[in-house]
Structure 1
Amino acid sequence: MRATFAAYREVNEERLGELETRGNADPLVSEKLARIDAALDRQQARLDQMALKAARPAREPAASGRHGTGAADPAVLEHREAFSGYMRKGHEEGLRTIEQKALSVGSDPDGGYLVPEQTESEILTRMASVSPIRAIAGSRQVTASVFKKPFSVTGPQSGWVAETSARPQTGAPTLAELAFPTMELYAMPAATPSLLEDAAVDVEAWIAGEVEMAFAEQEGAAFVNGDGTNRPRGFLDYPRVAEASWSWGSLGKLASGVDGAFPASAPADVLIDLVHALKAGYRQNARFVMNRRTQAVVRKMKDADGNYLWQPPASVGAPATLMSFPLTEAEDMPDIGIEAAAIAFGDFRRGYLVVDRAGVRILRDPYSAKPYVLFYTTKRVGGGVQDFDAIKLLSFEA
């Protein structure tokens, strides 16, 4: 990555020199720069894939019998065997017995069965790697349909007094109640009976693989742009006001100074203003969020000493940095355009909350689409801004 980025800087310097001397760049130089830029993206994708594979949880030791020998919790193995029988053959008896013995509050034999713990954990872990906002936001597991959270907007009032002066009563802290309803997210992959009856097929891994991308893509879009109707509310859906007149309930924004673009001179100064619009307590864990096309524009920026503001990852699994802050690439962020909030900066773990209702549910349907067997997979998830002062936006407007 560093060698490729060094080549990128060299070619970009050549392009800038041609712009200064001739007023336009050689098309061959621009094409070479685009190829190196694409190579950087491919290498970053390879590093992300390696980190994703390394982060996947190891499989539990196999039970004695068909899959080999090893030790495991008998109750877990019983649940897995019963779930496998339900998935492959539609046999419900084993799951009914387990649910009755466990007296599970979340069980609903008429509507479906809870996925075994290992499969549910695998799906959630993979989504954290695929959905960038889920990976950087705060999260809560709930058992109710709505999660409510009080937030202290202002502390108690105080004041200076003389030694013998009266002490009048001061105002109490102001609390705001935030509500995060969980919405239903579903996927319905299909399989043939022959596939399910094949002993070599790991049905649980297949379900996780089918569902992970469908759920992650829907979540990623909703956490950024969702309108809160039958889906989580994205942080870009909240009202935006100029940072100078910011108030609770809105996200503060800074204007780039030019409609649909960075300023022609000193464009990096706008990013510096965005960083320092955030309070120091939030900046400790803050990061930039933008899509790849915006990142391609920012990658060409340099400071007054000629150093590039964007730097490649220092190690495998680490993010690229912009002005020493981590950078998260979210494809659902808007492109640079007139009044588009294409860049967000803030502490997303404090600013945005993802709410998961415990349990991923599977309903086996062998009747609706014969000869295929449908697996109606659902989970309930919500999201919204929990601290309106923790995220700032850069809006490309005059």
Structure 2
Amino acid sequence: MTTRLEFKADLTVTPEGLIEGIAWPFGSADRVGDVIEKGAIAAPVTLPMLFAHDQGQVIGVWDQIEETDAGLTVKGRLLIDDVARAREVQAMISAKAVSGLSIGFVTTKSTPRAKGRTITALSLHEISVVAVPCHPGAQITSLKSDGTAKPTEEQNMNTETIEDPINPSAPANAPQMDTKAFDEIKSRLDKIEAKANRPQGVHITGPVTDPETKAFGNFLRRGVERIAPEEVKALTVANDASAGYLAPQEFGSELIKLLTEFSPIRSYAKVISISAPSIVYPRRVTGTSATWVAEIASRTASGMTFEQVTMTPHELATFTDVSNALLEDNAYNLEGELLSDFAESFARTEGLAFVKGTGAGQPFGIMAASGIAELKTGVAANFPASNPADVLIAMYHMIATTYAQSGVWIMNRNTLAIVRQWKDGNGRYLVLDPITAGAPSTLLGRPVVEMPDMDDVGADTYPILFGDMQGYRIIDRVGLTTLRDPYSLAVNGQVRFHARKRVGADVTHPDRFIKLKCAA
């Protein structure tokens, strides 16, 4: 059982911000068994004073660092006149809310012990004021995640907490930091900040702020066998055994945005996610019927009948081959290129199925679903020569008022070009342009949605649909997942990325729609 040593430094601070303490006591092991020998610390003349090892919170400087019999003794001053955070830390020390010191260093020479190491040489980087010096493991993680290259095992960045009380008194005439010393510290901090801000590893659009996105980028670039164990844990594994790793949330959300551009039906239909192989919806066919009766006459029974609508998701898949040279180029926007490639391939195929899908190995398209009423133009291959707008007005009034008030017109761009030329008896165009940027055009007061997969005007075609799109349901079973295959094309110097998803769709309320057929 590991013994956890916890020594709180009874820190005090003067009104001028002077502070001193013992940053490390020699001759005793820390909680992981490491011992630092006297003479091992190669410290510069001055060091930055940080709060909780956060490089973004420089609160002062240590201008006296020396090894004594008690340990590594340090003296410094909080920059209370210039840094608001320093004044907050001063108040926390005075209130005993902050009670510890912790050092950050790189080991340059050590020998193993039964437990831990004996460190005989190290390079001291910074000394932090910490709230409670009892979790060095968490501080080590914080230090290693600063974006710089990882050191070797012998040079691991460490953070050790204070393990001995310090002298609570601070001399009132402590030496002040001169301008030259301050300039040296500022230069050192600028270099640390510049190094921490350098992009490392993967490059994507926008900053990488979460471990899942960074791990997913490194997985795409190097493969799961060549990334750190903590990054493997950050990857999200799909439920299906053969699916591989799920794209992080940012990747999947951006894909949906691109799908909306290619397949606008997703913006209007009812879209849900399911966790089962299929989903069954009951649908009422007939309802009860009430009849008028005399005071003591026999009543007539009535009943309800139902049917079931079963929706099954179908798999959609593609893959992209990328050369190792491109993967190794840090300036190459791999994620953006894969995103665009996959989104375009998925959206085109999915969008066509949502309109004309047969239901055999693919979703049922809204134009192929049964039960939707139709209205004929009255001319075999076109619209009536006179008053063609009458046909659209008739369509609008053929479905229930509630659905018509929520309905949209669906047609492709070629059909819309014809309809836009129609005018009423006063010479006003039926299709009205939007009055605000980004809003759709309207026809008879309802939005017009351009859908490229709709039929053109022609004999026996269905160029226009009108209705409430909430009557069409899309189910997503598995979101976009990716699988990296570095072996199949290794002889060609390429890596294959597979992408897949499972989606289904069907009309659940055919009475909410009316479609137009070009026929006599």
From 321, 324, 330, give the equivalent of 2:442.
Answer: 321
Measured after TM superposition, the shift of residue 232 of structure 1 is 1.0
The equivalent of 2:46 in structure 1 is none
Amino acid at match of 2:504: G
Confirm or deny that 1:120 pairs with 2:240: no
The equivalent of 1:129 in structure 2 is 261
Instruction: Report the TM-score when normalising by structure 2.
Output: 0.57
From 499, 502, 507, give the equivalent of 1:377.
Answer: 499
Cα offsets for 1:86-111 (capped at 9, x unmatched): 21111247698788799967153x54
From 185, 191, 197, give the equivalent of 2:328.
Answer: 197
Equivalent-residue separation in structure 2 for 1:95 and 1:393 (angstroms): 56
Cα offsets for 1:293-338 (capped at 9, x unmatched): 1111111100111110011122121111112211011111111111
Query: Which has the larger displacement, 352-361 or 79-88?
Result: 79-88
The equivalent of 1:367 in structure 2 is 487
Alignment of 1:27-176 (within 5 A): 65=147, 68=197, 77-92=210-225, 106=239, 108=241, 111-171=243-303, 173-176=304-307
Name the SS for the 1:231 alignment partner: coil
CA contact (8 A) 2:237 2:245 kept: no
Cα offsets for 1:176-227 (capped at 9, x unmatched): 2111111111121222212222223343333221111111111111111111
Higher helix share: 1
Alignment of 1:275-314 (within 5 A): 275-314=396-435
Instruction: Report the TM-score when normalising by structure 1.
Output: 0.73
Measured after TM superposition, the shift of residue 289 of structure 1 is 0.6
Q: 1:313 to 1:261 in 2, by over 3 A?
A: same
CA contact (8 A) 2:211 2:234 kept: no
Q: 1:135 to 1:186 in 2, by over 3 A?
A: same
The equivalent of 1:177 in structure 2 is 308
Equivalent-residue separation in structure 1 for 2:420 and 2:323 (angstroms): 48
Unaligned runs of 5+ in 2: 1-144, 149-195, 199-208
Measured after TM superposition, the shift of residue 157 of structure 1 is 2.5
CA contact (8 A) 2:377 2:516 kept: yes
Amino acid at match of 1:91: V
CA contact (8 A) 1:224 1:236 kept: yes
Q: 1:322 to 1:367 in 2, by over 3 A?
A: same
Equivalent-residue separation in structure 2 for 1:387 and 1:105 (angstroms): 33
Equivalent-residue separation in structure 1 for 2:382 and 2:374 (angstroms): 15
Cα offsets for 1:14-53 (capped at 9, x unmatched): xxxxxxxxxxxxxxxxxxxxxxxxxxxxxxxxxxxxxxxx
The equivalent of 1:58 in structure 2 is none
Name the SS for the 1:128 alignment partner: helix
The size of the alignment, in residue pairs, is 317
Confirm or deny that 1:208 pairs with 2:208: no
Higher strand share: 2
The equivalent of 2:359 in structure 1 is 228
From 344, 352, 358, give the equivalent of 2:472.
Answer: 352
CA contact (8 A) 1:107 1:114 kept: no
Name the SS for the 1:393 alignment partner: strand
Amino acid at match of 1:177: Q
CA contact (8 A) 2:321 2:494 kept: yes
Equivalent-residue separation in structure 1 for 2:281 and 2:375 (angstroms): 28
The equivalent of 2:319 in structure 1 is 188
Query: Which has the larger displacement, 337-346 or 227-236?
Result: 227-236
Amino acid at match of 2:508: Q
Measured after TM superposition, the shift of residue 377 of structure 1 is 0.2
Equivalent-residue separation in structure 2 for 1:189 and 1:259 (angstroms): 45
Equivalent-residue separation in structure 1 for 2:359 and 2:229 (angstroms): 36
The equivalent of 2:134 in structure 1 is none
Unaligned runs of 5+ in 1: 1-62, 70-75, 240-249
Measured after TM superposition, the shift of residue 64 of structure 1 is 5.3
Confirm or deny that 1:340 pairs with 2:340: no
Equivalent-residue separation in structure 2 for 1:167 and 1:92 (angstroms): 76
Q: 1:169 to 1:92 in 2, by over 3 A?
A: farther
Query: Which has the larger displacement, 184-193 or 277-286?
Result: 184-193
**Structure 1 moving runs of 4+ over 4 Å:** 66-69, 92-105
Q: 1:312 to 1:374 in 2, by over 3 A?
A: same
Q: 1:85 to 1:281 in 2, by over 3 A?
A: same
Name the SS for the 2:336 alignment partner: helix
The equivalent of 2:379 in structure 1 is 258
Equivalent-residue separation in structure 1 for 2:146 and 2:338 (angstroms): 24
CA contact (8 A) 1:129 1:135 kept: no
Equivalent-residue separation in structure 2 for 1:276 and 1:374 (angstroms): 53
Equivalent-residue separation in structure 1 for 2:394 and 2:228 (angstroms): 58
CA contact (8 A) 2:323 2:493 kept: yes
Measured after TM superposition, the shift of residue 129 of structure 1 is 2.7
Amino acid at match of 1:393: K
Measured after TM superposition, the shift of residue 77 of structure 1 is 2.9
Equivalent-residue separation in structure 2 for 1:224 and 1:157 (angstroms): 36
Name the SS for the 2:458 alignment partner: coil
Measured after TM superposition, the shift of residue 391 of structure 1 is 1.2
CA contact (8 A) 1:142 1:356 kept: yes
Equivalent-residue separation in structure 1 for 2:430 and 2:400 (angstroms): 21
From 390, 394, 397, give the equivalent of 2:512.
Answer: 390
Measured after TM superposition, the shift of residue 233 of structure 1 is 1.3
Flag the structure with larger Rg. Answer: 2
Equivalent-residue separation in structure 1 for 2:237 and 2:256 (angstroms): 21
